[in-house]
A and B are shown apart, each in its own frame.
Chain A
Amino acid sequence: MTHYLLRRFISIIPVLFAVSTIVFFIIHFIPGDPIDLILGERALAADRAQLAHALKLEEPVLVQYGYFLKGLISGEWGTSIFDNRPVLELIKDNYGATVVLACAAMFVAMFIAIPAGIIAAVKRNSIWDSIAMFIALVGISVPNFWLGPVLVLIFSVHVGILPISGRESWTSLILPAITLGTGLAAMLARMTRASMIEELKSEYITVARAKGVSERNVIFKHAFKNALNPIVTIVGLQVGTLLAGTIITEKVFSWPGMGTLLLDSIRRRDYPVVEGCVLIISFAYVIINTMADCLYKAFDPRVRL
Chain B
Amino acid sequence: MRIWTFKIGAILICVLVLIAIFAPLIAPHDPNEYNLALKFAGPHSGFWFGHDADGRDILSRIIYGARISFGIGVLVVGISLLIGCALGLIAGYSGGWVDQFFLFVSDVFLAFPSFLFALAVAAFLEPSIVSVIFILSLKGWVTYARLVRAQTLTLKHREFILAGKAIGVSRWRIYFRHLMPNMIGPVLVNASFGMAGVIMIESALSFLGVGVPVNTPSWGAMIDQGTQYLLIAPHMSIFPGIFIMLIVLGFNFLGDGLRDKLAPRGK
Contacts and interface: CB of A to CB of B under 8 A. Distances in A.
B40 interface: no
B237 interface: yes
Which residue, A133, A137, A248, has most C-beta atoms of chain B within 10 A? A137
A188 interface: no
Interface in B211-249: 220, 223-224, 226-227, 230-231, 234, 237-238, 240-241, 244-245, 248-249
A30 B200 CA distance: 24
A157 B121 CA distance: 36
Contact of A286 (B111, B210, B226): B111
B124 interface: yes
Interface stretch (A60-68, A79-87, A111-119, A147-155): A147-155
A146 B244 contact: yes
Interface string A122-140: 0001000110011001101
Given A26-B120, A133-B1, A286-B111, A140 B252 contact: yes
Contacts of A125: 1
B227 A252 contact: yes
Interface centre among B116, B248, B253 (most CB of A within 10 A): B116
A157 B113 contact: no
B102 to A, nearest CB: 14
Given A30-B125, A149-B230, A278-B116, A285 B111 contact: yes
Given A137-B5, A141-B196, A150 B113 contact: no
Given A146-B241, A278-B120, A285-B113, A141 B252 contact: yes
B104 interface: yes
Contacts of B230: 149, 152-153, 157
Contacts of A243: 113
A241 B112 CA distance: 9
Nearest to B238: A150
B57 interface: no
A143 B204 contact: yes
A266 B234 CA distance: 27
B230 to A, nearest CB: 5
Nearest to A242: B113
Interface of B: 1, 5, 104, 107-108, 111-113, 115-116, 119-121, 123-126, 196, 200, 203-204, 207-208, 210, 220, 223-224, 226-227, 230-231, 234, 237-238, 240-241, 244-245, 248-249, 252-253, 256
B227 A149 contact: yes
B227 A263 contact: no
A31 B125 CA distance: 7
Contacts of A247: 115-116, 119, 208
Contact of A137 (B123, B124, B256): B256
A15 B213 CA distance: 34
Nearest to B247: A141
Contacts of A32: 124, 126
A26 B122 CA distance: 10
Contact of B204 (A16, A142, A248, A262): A248
Nearest to A289: B111
A22 interface: yes
Contacts of A37: 124
Contact of B123 (A143, A149, A274, A282): A274
Given A23-B120, A244-B116, 6 more contacts: A22-B108, A30-B121, A30-B124, A274-B123, A282-B112, A285-B112
Nearest to B196: A141
A26 B123 CA distance: 10
A60 B2 CA distance: 58
A19 B113 CA distance: 11
A147 B104 CA distance: 37
Interface string A254-265: 000000001100
A18 interface: yes
Nearest to B236: A149
A181 interface: no
Nearest to B112: A282
A153 B226 CA distance: 12
B264 to A, nearest CB: 15
Given A32-B124, A143-B245, A281 B116 contact: yes
B210 A15 contact: no
A138 B107 contact: no
Nearest to B234: A153
A252 to B, nearest CB: 7
Nearest to A34: B124
A107 interface: no
A31 B241 CA distance: 33
14 contacts: A19-B108, A26-B124, A30-B125, A138-B249, A140-B252, A142-B245, A145-B207, A146-B244, A149-B241, A247-B116, A247-B208, A248-B115, A274-B123, A278-B120
A286 B113 CA distance: 9
